[in-house]
Structure 1
Amino acid sequence: MVVDVAPTVDDLLRGKGLRSTAQRRAVLEALRGHPHSTASELEARIAAGPGAGALSRQGLYNVLEDLDGVHLVRRIEPAGSPARYELRVGDNHHHLVCRGCGRVEDVDCAVGAAPCLDPLEDKGFAIDEAEITWWGVCVDCRRKPAADPAPAESPVG
């Protein structure tokens, strides 16, 4: 007989010293299966969910800050993009970001232990983590036909 011993959302919250509130549970559930979600995406998913409770935009940001503070979620901030949140924490993974559509994909740490990249000089810091973001164009965006060039202006005569 196999017994499911995966921790519940309540267990995760209480294990980090947080009360298990409906708002915190809703945010964690909204992130399941949807890594790299923005606050707007989470807000829409929570509002559309079953038994959606009232969660203001400010309330959502407060919950995200609480969850990030105890390392139940990870906040990433790719340049030019709103902050994104994911449940994958504590494993020192990195990210690929598409310049075309903004898609974000996880990339496992090449070394397997943090930090997986060392600077040439540590400047006296005790380094324990490296956060790396690679930028490029995803396969879907590369398959799209190039945009038509703007029509040339007619010469004025």
Structure 2
Amino acid sequence: MTTDPAVLLRGAGLRSTAPRRAVLQALLTRPHSTATDLSQAVGGQLSSQTIYNALDDLTGSGLVRRIEPAGSPTRYETRVGDNHHHVVCRSCGAVADVDCAVGVAPCLTPGAAPGFARIDEAELTWWGTCTDCALKQR
């Protein structure tokens, strides 16, 4: 699979603009980035509004996934479509991917889902302490 932002953008039906390429390239190398992280990654070359516009386009096209851990800034990643989950450090806010442990999506079965004909995805966030923070707390 290619990691060329221009090819990915065109494949998703988006125009390959410089801001979209810059944001997508930053996300390819920095998963779980916030908009602020992305601004720093592109050297402050893009306005906040331009970054948010690019993120909206990228998430709308399915190239990028938005994750919103409670009490944490919205984060973005390019790992999409595989129904993985996340673990967040309560101390420093670090985020890591957690692969689905059982079967295929949604890999979790809700107890009840009245009014829904089909459930195709689960989004789960685990909370804990990362190794670095655990070592610092000793």
Counterpart contact for 2:87–2:97, Cα < 8 Å: yes
**Residue in 2 that maps onto 1:60:** 51
Report the Cα distance in structure 1 between the residues aligned to 2:100 and 2:91, rounded to whole angstroms.
24
**Residue in 2 that maps onto 1:154:** none
Which stretches of structure 1, 4 residues or more, deviate above 2 A after TM superposition?
5-8
Rg larger in 1 or in 2? 1
Same amino acid, percent of matched pairs: 64
TM-score by length of 1: 0.82
CA displacement, residues 90-149 of structure 1 (integer Å, 9 cap, x when unaligned): 100000000001010000011241101111112131111000000011111111136xxx
Report the Cα distance in structure 2 between the residues aligned to 1:74 and 1:20, rounded to whole angstroms.
19
Considering only aligned residues, what root-mean-square deviation do their CA atoms show, in Å? 1.5
What is the correspondence of 1:61-80 to structure 2 with a 5 Å cutoff?
61-80=52-71
Report the Cα distance in structure 2 between the residues aligned to 1:7 and 1:41, rounded to whole angstroms.
20
Which secondary structure does the structure 2 equivalent of 1:135 belong to?
A: strand
**Residue in 1 that maps onto 2:100:** 109
TM-score by length of 2: 0.93
Query: Which of 107, 131, 140 is matched with 2:132 structurally?
Result: 140
Quick one: structure 1 residues 7 and 134, their matched pair in 2 at CA, closer, same or farther if it must change by over 3 Å?
closer
Count, aligned residues: 137
Unaligned runs of 5+ in 1: 49-53, 147-157
Question: Is the counterpart of residue 23 in structure 1 residue 46 in structure 2?
Answer: no
Higher helix share: 2
